Amino acid sequence: MAPEWADALVREVCAEAGVASPVLRWRRALRQNSSGVTRRHERSVAVTAGHDPVDQRLTLLHELAHWLAAPARRHRGRVLHHDLNFYRVAFALYLQHGVPTAEALSREGARYPSSLRHARALFVVGADEAWGLRRIALRQRARLRGPRRVLVAEHTVRLVRDGRWTRCSVCGARVVGPVLARLRRRSGRHTLLSIG
Ligand SMILES: [Zn+2]
Ligand SMILES: [Zn+2]
């Protein structure tokens, strides 16, 4: 059963937008943060609620933004669930329904780094600073990692099966996705680098 405030929030947001409310499914989890999923074809929003009340509210509003925003577009075969149009709706909901903007930026930024780029484009207050801080953090992390070392020098890939995976028998690296498809068509070379 969803808490009363959550049911009320769904009704309020949908009434303001002039759309029908989704069915709200709510369950609790023994963790700090919440997660959610919106299923348009089922007309439902499901939230798995953690302990943090701000995160519960943000998660529900995030899902309601999926409910209100135009259906996700596709770009080069990928579905864009969290594009500029989505964040236009989401940040407006956070602002109108009691999620402090700084909280929205830090939580969205942690889950979807590209949200900060969209927030800047939407002139969300504090987005420039959050974006800048994230760039500094990324640069520091890269510096701490140090240069990547060559573990196995460049060689011709030899594909072998390893259970449900395919590996290169020379260096042991797992080969997946488009790279695997390409190497199946014609042979290629690669170098094994340290993760850092
Ligand atoms: Zn989402
Ligand atoms: Zn290899």
Question: pLDDT per residue over 48-98, tens digit each?
Answer: 999 999 999 999 999 999 999 977 777 777 777 899 999 999 999 999 999
User: 144 alpha carbon to ligand 2 midpoint, in Å?
Assistant: 27
User: 83 alpha carbon to ligand 1 midpoint, in Å?
Assistant: 10
Confidence of residue 193 (pLDDT cuts 50, 70, 90): confident
CA angle 69, 100, 53 (to 5 degrees): 90
Residue-wise pLDDT tens digits, 142-155: 888 777 788 899 99
Other beta carbons within 10 Å of 26: 18
Pair (92, 123) in one structural domain:
yes
Pair (47, 136) in one structural domain:
yes
Nearest-CA neighbor of 63 among 29, 97, 100? 97
% pLDDT > 70, the chain: 99
Q: Which two tokens stand for residue 55?
A: 């995160």
Mean pLDDT, rounded, of the chain: 92
Pair (129, 172) in one structural domain:
no
User: 102 alpha carbon to ligand 1 midpoint, in Å?
Assistant: 18
Domain span at residue 21 reads: 4-143
Q: Which residues contact 2 (CB under 8 A, 6 or more apart)?
A: 24, 25, 26, 47
CA of 165: how far to CAs of 170, 174, 176, 177, 192, in Å?
Answer: 15, 7, 8, 11, 17
Q: pTM to 2 decimals?
A: 0.72
Pair (111, 172) in one structural domain:
no
User: 103 alpha carbon to ligand 1 midpoint, in Å?
Assistant: 16
Pair (164, 86) in one structural domain:
no
Pair (175, 106) in one structural domain:
no
Confidence of residue 29 (pLDDT cuts 50, 70, 90): very high
- Judged by its nearest atom, the ligand closest to the C-alpha of residue 190 is 2
Pair (74, 123) in one structural domain:
yes
Pair (173, 84) in one structural domain:
no
Pair (55, 126) in one structural domain:
yes
% pLDDT > 90, the chain: 77
